[in-house]
């Protein structure tokens, strides 16, 4: 997907994604790299749509927090 080209060029973002817990990393990559919608991700991972949505939201928050922490260092 188009976001993958952006991710590949951003070493900090790649490192932050790699550091995520597995359940967050997988939903984030399925959503934004594989470009699957929440319904398809929920079927693939056998999770409710609400769970997948929450995990994507939490993953994005963790990425933002990781960037903020790194910038303060």
Query: Which helix H or strand E contains 39, and what residues bound it?
Result: helix 38-45
**What's the pLDDT score for residue 2?**
55
Q: Which residues, in sequence order, are CB contacts of 48 under 8 Å at separation 6+?
A: 42
How does pLDDT run along the chain (73 residues), one tens digit per residue? 556 566 666 777 888 888 999 999 999 999 988 999 999 999 999 999 999 999 999 999 998 888 777 777 6
Instruction: Single out the residue of 66, 11, 7 nearest to residue 32, CA to CA.
Output: 7
**What's the pLDDT score for residue 69?**
78
pTM: 0.82
**What's the pLDDT score for residue 8?**
65
């Amino acid at each position: 997907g188009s976001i993958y080209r952006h991710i590949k060029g951003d070493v900090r973002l790649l490192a932050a994604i790699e550091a995520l817990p597995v359940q967050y990393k997988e939903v984030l990559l399925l959503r934004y790299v594989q470009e699957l919608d929440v319904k398809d991700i929920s079927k693939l991972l056998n999770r409710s749509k609400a769970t997948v949505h929450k995990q994507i939201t939490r993953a994005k928050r963790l990425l933002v927090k990781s960037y903020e922490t790194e910038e303060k260092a």
